[in-house]
A and B are shown apart, each in its own frame.
Chain A
Amino acid sequence: MIELDSVAMSYGDRTLFHDVSLSLPNGSFHFLTGPSGAGKTTLLKLCSLELTASEGRVRLLSEDVTGLDRDGIAGFRRKIGIVHQDSRFVDHLTVAENVLLPMSVTGKKSDATQDLSELLGWVGLAHVAERRPPELSGGERQRVALARAIILSPDIILADEPTGNVDWDMSLKLLDLLVELNKLGKTVLCATHDLNLIRHAKPKTTTRVLRIREGKVVQAAAGL
């Protein structure tokens, strides 16, 4: 469950959005769309605790995460899988080591080998496990990022323009992976400006579309 209650976000004098309230139930799949600069990334960063709201409260998994301290935020990030448009990695580590990073930081490495090979197989990257991230294509990097995001089996997946830097075929593959995760019960919130991608998702799972417009988040029309 992701809940925003009267959330506002300002940068200096500029108010990006205000009085945003929304509630995304467990297991739902939401797209977040809107024009460039509308605040899609900011809204996702509020949910991933990379930013703190200027006003209002944020609740994740039924817990109020407003005002969490640094360790609290780090602890909560382990329950959230995050995929950015320009996913970053520790470039001198292998793909396998990068995917295992969340387990390393939580000290859960011992039984990870099986999970890792299954996970890399699931995203279709078992063959690149020993390569370094700079050697990968954009699509491969995004799939590695997705694998890293879900290795701790988080309940929430936040994806910020995950298909922004990949071709259409790879976009559909990534969409399929997100849909599959949603069918496993994960709550997915995916920011995108690609309406075609949203249309392709519709037949595959029950999705809702949120649009940021003029500082407000509104439910998009069914026809989109």
Chain B
Amino acid sequence: MSRLRTLLVGDPTAARIVPPSGFTAVLTIASAAAMAFLAVFAIALQLATGELAARWEAELKGTATVRIPAAEDSEGRADAVLAALKQTPGIVAARRMSDEEQAVLLAPWFGEGIPLDKLRLPTLIEVTETAEGPDLTGLSERLSAEAPGTIYDNHSRWRVPLSDAASRLRQLGGIALFLIGGVTAVTIALAASSALAANGQVIDVLRIVGAKDGWIAAAFTRRFTLRGFFGALAGTFLAMIAVSMIPSGVEAGVLSGLGFDGAEWLLPLLVPFFAAALAFGATWVVAARRLRQDG
């Protein structure tokens, strides 16, 4: 706790022990800014894929479509299937789709004004399921008995791959965040190591006047933590502006959800603090090891 206090408050001279400018300063600030910029996009991607997966699930889950092949007695077969569906546990409602609705569904492939009465189209029934849903095996057997060739489609063929894809995207986002953190830590560690090597004279002077290794390490750690924080703050700020400029309202695709809503805008603000924590840890480890080696 006292080390943290020393780090945050410090005394003005201790804060200035590490030269305030130079290559390592630029490297630390620039890399922290770049990594924070990427991290904010990775977070946005994480949120977008999560929302996309939830939307796909919500749109497809709880509904099913029953398709009855065209036959001589289509009306009677449809009535029998409807009656069976309404008696089946796990089904809330079942409704035969009108010719107009079927025409809308076919329009993308056959165009407007399809002569439905001249086509042998299957009868479609829209089903709303309970959260638990029906016993699919038993229901399929029963529907086949009422009307051979009837198919009960609960959209899992579409839902599962989409859900898997969204899940993979989220995993990739997580891996990206992890890698960004790792690269940030390594870059700052290298910069800190370089700074320690370049400031051998400063360290010698500090030792002559009785500075303990912990005090010297804290001086370097404080400087690099602040550089990491302010670099990441700049990168985060720029990334938030960039994210806010991504056009919204695109109907399809992942990009439609790439952004932050409401309280989600607070999430990127954590990035500079994580960057500072990484810089603190990386610099402390490097400094402690280096000072021990210099002995």
Q: How large is the interface on B (under 10, 10 to 19, 20 to 34, 35 or more residues)?
A: 20 to 34
Query: In whole angstroms, how far apart are the Cα atoms of A107 and B3 in the complex?
Result: 13
A50-104 residues with Cβ-Cβ distance < 8 A to B are: 50, 70-71, 74-78, 82, 84, 88-93, 97-98, 100-102, 104
Q: Please, how many angstroms separate the alpha-carbon atoms of A48 and B292 in the complex? A: 19
Q: Is B207 an interface residue (CB 8 A)?
A: yes
User: A100 touches which one: B13, B19, B201, B206 (CB < 8 A)?
Assistant: B13
**A186 at interface, CB cutoff 8 A:** no
Interface residues in B195-229 (C-beta closer than 8 Å to A): 201-202, 204-215
Q: Which of B13, B212, B214, B292 contacts A101 (CB 8 A)?
A: B13
Interface members, chain B 1-60 (any A CB < 8 Å): 11, 13-14, 16-17, 19-20
Partner among B16, B19, B209, B214 whose Cβ is within 8 Å of the Cβ of A102: B209
On whether the beta carbons of A74 and B213 are closer than 8 Å, the reply is: yes
Does the CB pair B14–A104 fall under 8 Å? Answer: yes
Interface SS of chain B? helix
In the complex, the number of residue pairs spanning A and B with C-beta atoms less than 8 Å apart equals 69
> Which of chain A's residues have a CB closer than 8 A to the CB of B208?
48, 50, 77, 82, 84, 88
Which B residues are in CB contact (< 8 Å) with A88? 201, 204-205, 208
Question: Does B207 lie within 8 Å of A74, measured CB to CB?
Answer: yes
Q: Looking across the interface, which residue of chain B has its beta carbon closest to that of A78?
A: B210
Asked whether any CB of chain B lies closer than 8 Å to the CB of A148, the reply is yes
A168 to chain B, nearest CB (A): 27
The answer to whether A105 and B215 touch (CB under 8 A), given A92-B19, A92-B20, is: yes
Q: Give Cα distance in the complex from A70 to B295, angstroms.
A: 8
A109 contacts B by Cβ under 8 Å: yes
Complex Cα distance, B209 from A184, in Å, reads: 21
A114 in the interface (beta carbon within 8 A): no
Contact with B along A97-126 (1 / 0, CB 8 A): 110111011110100000000000000000
| Across-interface contacts of B292 in A (CB, < 8 A) | 70
B residues less than 8 Å from A105 (CB atoms):
14, 206, 209-212, 215
Question: Which residue from chain B places its CB closest to the CB of A77 in the assembled complex?
Answer: B210
CB<8 Å pairs between A and B, sample of 18: A70-B212, A70-B292, A70-B295, A77-B209, A88-B204, A88-B208, A90-B201, A90-B202, A91-B201, A100-B13, A101-B13, A101-B205, A101-B209, A101-B211, A104-B11, A104-B14, A105-B206, A105-B211
Closest CB pairs A-B (n = 3): A78-B210, A105-B211, A77-B210
